[in-house]
Each structure stands twice: as structure tokens, then as C-alpha cells.
Amino acid sequence: MRVGIVCPYTWNVPGGVQQHIRDLAEALIGFGHHVSVITPADDDARLPAYVVSAGRAVPVPYNGSVARLAFGFLSSGRVRRWINEGRFDVLHVHEPAAPSLGLLACWAADGPIVGTFHASYEKSRVVSVTAPILQSALEKITGRIAVSEAARKTLVEHLGGDAVLIPNGVATERYAMAAPLPGWPGRGDGADGADGDREGGAGRAGGGALGFLGRMDEPRKGLQVLLRAFEILGRERPGLRLLLAGPGDADEVVSRVSPGLRGRVVVLGMVSEEDKIRAYHSVDVFVAPNLGGESFGIVLAEAMSAGAPILASDIEAFDRVLLGGRAGALFPVGDHEALAAAAGELLDDPARRKHLSAEARAAVRAYDWSSVARDVLRVYETVAAGDAGVVESGLGA
């Protein structure tokens, strides 16, 4: 199948949409399909062979923040030429409601078009003056995909119509192996190659480490529940440490821990992708104490890919991802005493941790990019069936 993918944001700038497109394109190429991606890119950017540049994106205020978008005569000319030369069986535009290449591609093409909606927002951005501009382009999309329930809800409420839900994939093998952070023993299951049965490693007498990753200043991520549980656990287990990573004020977090335990709470703050992976491999139990508001929990999926034994609150999304407790232990949401008790049991039971780790790695395969790409491919096949392919549309259509 010849697939043309349209990326609305600058390729080399880190972002969820760009990452999604890169992983999807590479998975599709892995299946043996022909993929071409058109994207805004800086002039000197080094692009993979399957990526075509549509020129530089321009910073412009849009909906209260400055976004880098590609629009105008030059961009739309390049999109038209790319569609003409690509002879695609299906065109896949991302974030088609943003004033960038996605919208331009909808405008410039006729034929089977799939649109993926990433963003979710509360307030409608579609108003009477912009509705007609969007409508004529969005009506050309034959199959719509939303990456999360929130994105789907946004689409239904603000643009009308419906979409199928295909969540973001996780590049599980990227997380599978990593050396623990310096000064952390790790679980001995990663690249360090050490044995997994360190004597007393996490037990009552020895050290052991709990991990958390997420926004530290967002109450719904539940860090406060974990900190209260650590007040109990830390006193019972003099060697136990807590590793925290994610955006937020580190000093403020440490000040919430009682003085005697502060030395055993390590706050990494914002971490690089590489250090994040190493952090997953540095702890004995990864805790996800979220109070709700998660549709899927990408952090949980990453930790599962890294094979971290998981202890998570029993909110619906986590219960589903963890197969009702089979791929990770669950505790009643918000209950710090239950969290402390469950974490203690896991720390004392290396065999159970090892078992959970293996189960998690197996369960997360359902969310791997190869599974997601297969679902996306089914959408392509659905819309492309019996159609002659993508052609350039008449001007102004």
C-alpha cells in the first residue's frame, strides 16, 4: 500500500504528534508498505529517507499560544506537488483542524483520506467565522481516528461526527533494556546483566527502592498518596528509598516529607528520555498512585515495557491495562495505608516481583506500535476499498 502521511508540526521539534507519526511510519515500513511523510522542517534539518520537507514553519499566535505552523502559498504548493507525485492509495492527515499542513492536504486532495485527532481541549475553538473554513476540508475525511477518549470527546463536542479510538502505541523495545541510574542497584533484569536474586536487596533489612514518574504538582497524579505511604514504609524500612521524576518543584516536594526521611527521597525533576528509561530500571516497585483522569496511562505502559513490577491504584484505566491485577498489583485508589501494605508485601517477595515483571512485559505487547499500526492499517483498508487512490483536487474545491 502507498501511504502518504501529513505531519502538521516541525519534524525535529520534540512533540507527541511527531513521535506518533515517526513510530507509525516506521512500523508501517516494517510491514513492507511504501510510506512518505510530508512535514514542516527547518532548512538544515536531517530527515529520514521517508520524510519530505514542506518548508519552514512560522511561529504565529494561535488560540492563545504561539504555535509553529506551516501555511500559505508555498506550503500549499509543496503539498499539492507531493500529492501529485506520491500516487498514494490513502492519505493520512494528522491534526487536520490545526491551520497547518494537515488542513492544506485535505483541501488539496480528493480520495480516501484518514484523519487522526490528537488534541483535546475544553473550550471550543470552532466559532462561526472559522466553521466554514474547517468544514469544507474536514468533510473530505473518510475515516477519523482519535488517539484518546478525551480527543474523541473533543471531536464529538466541537466538530461533530465521531471517530474510532486507536490509542498511541508504545515502542516497547525502546524501554526493554537500560542500565540503572548511577547509585541505584536496579532489579538486575536489564542491560546490567546481574542476577535477579540479590540477597536481601529489597527486603526489610536491605535497601529497596520505590519509583514514581509524572507531574509532581498535579494532584490527580497522586504523588501525595505515595508520600503519605512513604511516611509509614520509610519508618518500617530504614534502607528504603524513593525515586521521583517528573515536572514540578523539587524543593516543595521534599518539604512535604518529614525531616527524618528526607535524605531517602531523591527528586530527579524533569528527566531526559534516556534517564527516564534508566529510572524505570532503577526501582524495585514502580508506583502509579493516580486518582483518576487517565484514559490510558502512557507512563504505566512504559514502565510495563521496562519490566518494572507495578503497583497501581485500581482506577478503571489501570485495571484494564494491568488485566485486573495480573500484570501488576492494584490497591484501592487514594488509600495510602493500603498502598504502604501492598508495597511492603512486594518488597518482601522477590519471586512475585519477578512474576509481575514478566506478566507486564507480556501484557504491554497489546499496546506495542506494531499492534497499533495493524489497527491503523485496517482503517486504511476500510476507506481505500474500491477507491482509485488519492488525486489532487480541483483548485478551490
Partner 1 sequence: MFPDWIIDVLFWIAVVFLAGVYVSWRATRLDRLHVRVETARAALDAALVRRAAAALELAASRLLDPATSLVLATAAHEARTADADNREFAESDLSRALRAVVDQPEFVGALTAEADGPTVLEELSSSAAKVAYARRFYNDAVSQARIARRKLLIRVLPLAGKAPLPGFFEIDDDPPGI
To the nearest whole angstrom, how small is the minimum distance from the Cβ of residue 104 to partner 1? 5
To the nearest whole angstrom, how small is the minimum distance from the Cβ of residue 39 to partner 1? 14
C-alpha cell at 143: 475515516
34-39/51-53 β-pairing: parallel
C-alpha cell at 179: 542500565
Whether the CB-CB separation of 376 and 135 falls below 8 Å is answered with no
Query: Which one, 103 or 377, has the nearer CB to partner 1?
Result: 103
To the nearest whole angstrom, how small is the minimum distance from the Cβ of residue 332 to partner 1? 43
Whether the CB-CB separation of 299 and 214 falls below 8 Å is answered with yes
Query: Which one, 69 or 223, has the nearer CB to partner 1?
Result: 69
To the nearest whole angstrom, how small is the minimum distance from the Cβ of residue 61 to partner 1? 4
3-state class (DSSP) for residue 61: strand
Whether the CB-CB separation of 100 and 71 falls below 8 Å is answered with yes
Query: Which one, 94 or 221, has the nearer CB to partner 1?
Result: 94
Query: Which one, 102 or 180, has the nearer CB to partner 1?
Result: 102
To the nearest whole angstrom, how small is the minimum distance from the Cβ of residue 396 to partner 1? 6
Query: Which one, 161 or 332, has the nearer CB to partner 1?
Result: 161
To the nearest whole angstrom, how small is the minimum distance from the Cβ of residue 12 to partner 1? 20
In the structure, how many helices (H) and strands (E) does the chain have?
Answer: 14, 17
Query: Which one, 128 or 272, has the nearer CB to partner 1?
Result: 128
Binding site for partner 1 (CB under 8 A): 58-64, 66, 69-76, 99-101, 103-104, 106-107, 125, 127, 129-130, 132-134, 136-137, 396
Sheet containing strand 34-39, strands side by side = 51-53, 34-39, 2-6, 90-94, 113-117, 143-146, 164-165
Whole-angstrom distance, CA of residue 375 vs CA of residue 370: 9
To the nearest whole angstrom, how small is the minimum distance from the Cβ of residue 132 to partner 1? 8
Whole-angstrom distance, CA of residue 358 vs CA of residue 363: 9
Whether the CB-CB separation of 265 and 244 falls below 8 Å is answered with yes
Query: Which one, 74 or 270, has the nearer CB to partner 1?
Result: 74
Query: Which one, 132 or 193, has the nearer CB to partner 1?
Result: 132
Number of other residues whose CB lies within 10 A of the CB of residue 314: 16
To the nearest whole angstrom, how small is the minimum distance from the Cβ of residue 74 to partner 1? 7
To the nearest whole angstrom, how small is the minimum distance from the Cβ of residue 133 to partner 1? 5
Query: Which one, 106 or 267, has the nearer CB to partner 1?
Result: 106
C-alpha cell at 157: 463536542
Residue spans of beta strands (DSSP E) within the chain:
2-6, 34-39, 51-53, 58-62, 65-69, 90-94, 109-110, 113-117, 143-146, 164-165, 209-213, 241-245, 265-269, 285-288, 310-313, 329-331, 391-392
Could you write out the three-class secondary structure of 230-285? HHHHHHHCCCCEEEEECCCCHHHHHHCCCHHHHHHEEEEECCCHHHHHHHHCCCCE
CA angle 318, 319, 321 (to 5 degrees): 60
